[in-house]
Amino acid sequence: MRIAFLTAHEGVEQIELTDPWKAAQDAGHEPRLIATRPGTVQAFHHFDKADTFPVDETVSDASADDYDALVLPGGVANPDALRMDGKAVAFVRSFFEAGKPVAAICHAPWTLVEAEVVRGRTLTSWPSLRTDIRNAGGDWVDERVQVCQAAPSTLITSRKPGDLKAFCEAFTTEFARGVAAAH
């Protein structure tokens, strides 16, 4: 299974990228880093610069047709930049339109709000997004992980880095179900 990990060129919370990436690899999937610019992505530990990661493909060149699932890591700046990028928003929306599973953690649901894909769905996030999600027609819950199987695609969300273990277990399980169902 090829999994797109979408980030802006700067601002992704490093642990919200690296832990899910490793979980995807450990589950036998092929993660690929999709970003708004070529080169490298600058990750952060909260507000401090952390490591950089090589970009596999820009969102301008990427297509949901080439991927089986999408992961949206958080960080405050990352989804804020993504939601201002029309191509990134369209890329996210295309996974929902194709019925492919999507996983998002922490502040990442801001991009989902912008993509207009939360209406009628139950999801969780960093608590400060609760009003944005509700205003966009979603049902916000305060849970470590939330799996919403509203048609046409499954959405797995989580609140924060402290929930990463549950988030990784949930999205790898749901992504594997999607693969099994497709075959």
Residue 181 included in any domain: no
Number of domains comprising the chain: 1
Q: Is residue 182 part of a domain?
A: no
Per-residue confidence (pLDDT) for residue 183, from 0 to 100? 46
What CATH number is associated with residue 165?
3.40.50.880
Q: Is the pLDDT reported for residue 9 higher than 70?
A: yes
Residue with tokens 């880095």: 161
Which phi-psi region, left, alpha or beta, contains residue 6 (left: φ > 0; alpha: ψ -120 to 50)? Answer: beta
pLDDT of residue 179: 60
Q: The tokens of 25 are what? A: 């690899």
Taking only the tens place, the pLDDT of each residue in 88-112 is: 999 999 999 999 999 999 999 999 9
Mean pLDDT across the stretch 156-167? 98
How sure is the predictor about 152, in pLDDT bands with cuts at 50, 70 and 90? confident
User: pTM of the predicted model, to two decimals?
Assistant: 0.97
What is the residue range of 130's domain? Answer: 2-176
How far apart, in Å, are the Cα atoms of 113 and each of 3, 108, 176? Answer: 21, 9, 26
Non-local (6+) Cβ contacts of 65 within 8 A are: 98
Q: With respect to residue 153, please indicate whether it lies within any of the assigned structural domains.
A: yes
Rounded to 5 degrees, what angle do the CA atoms 22, 144, 64 make? Answer: 50
Asked if residue 141 belongs to a domain, the reply is: yes
Place of tokens 């960080």: 75
**pLDDT computed for residue 155 by the predictor:** 97
Task: Show which residues are catalytic.
Answer: 106-107
**pLDDT tens digit sequence for 26-78:** 999 999 999 999 999 999 999 999 999 999 999 999 999 999 999 999 999 99
Strands 48-54 and 2-7: unpaired
Q: Tell whether the model's pLDDT for residue 182 goes beyond 70.
A: no
pLDDT at 82: 98
Residue 68 lies in a domain: yes
- Please check whether residue 155 lies inside any domain of the structure: yes
pLDDT at 49: 96
